[in-house]
Amino acid sequence: MAKKIILIAGPSGAGKTTISEYLTDRYQIPRVITHTTRPRRPGESESAYYFEDDASFAQLHFFEHVKYGDYQYGSSKEGLDRAWAKNDLVSLIVDIKGARSYLEALGDQVYFLYVTCSLDTLAQRMADRGDSSDQIKKRLAGSELNELPEDLASCAHVLVNDDLQATYASLDSLVRKLQN
């Protein structure tokens, strides 16, 4: 099988992490580990991030990277190669900018999965995870920030994640297709 990466993007609360965890738990599809310069938290393992200092971070070849506060975060060619050494099919949660970068660099090795859901479902999920009504209103008003841009629509596979069992069935079908 040729090496492939499933990129998972979409608005906050659409279910990206749930989908990534399902792919790992059900199909042993590893998530690409990303890098950070922030210090490791107590009890945090190297499975969350590769922890770097500024010098080692600067040596990496990034598909995408950002700075939040004093710390840098990014996904690299090196991290992808480590994941592909374990499995020919891997996944990674990205934002739209990251999806564009991977698509440009890797072309048909990318399966771009854009996850979305109805605004009602999104609001309910945010409430269920404890977001305040002000946070929910603000997030829903800003949800267009993570909307699928027109230029990426032609290469995106849109998955409406309003019903988890239907989503899992779609993912089962996807994995069978990608593994053949």
% of the chain surpassing 90 pLDDT? 65
Return the CATH number at 73: 3.30.63.10
Mean pLDDT over 5-16 rounds to 90
Residue 147 has pLDDT above 60, yes or no: yes
Q: What is the pLDDT of residues 88-111, one digit of tens each?
A: 999 999 988 899 999 999 999 999
Residue 161 maps to which CATH number?
3.40.50.300
Position 143 scores a pLDDT of: 59
Q: How far apart are CA 13 and CA 83, in angstroms?
A: 26
Please determine, for residue 122, whether its predicted confidence score (pLDDT) is greater than 90.
no
Mean pLDDT, rounded, of the chain: 90
- Predicted structure pTM score: 0.87
Kindly list the distances between the CA atom of residue 84 and the CA atoms of 75, 90, 109, 167, in Å, as whole numbers in the listed order.
Answer: 14, 7, 12, 25
Q: Which residue range is the domain that position 50 belongs to?
A: 33-86
The residues near 105 (Cβ < 8 Å, ≥ 6 apart) are 63
- Looking at the fold, whether 115 and 77 belong to one and the same domain comes out as no
Asked whether residue 162 carries a pLDDT value surpassing 60, the answer given is yes
User: Percent of the chain scored above 70 by pLDDT?
Assistant: 97
pLDDT at 146: 58
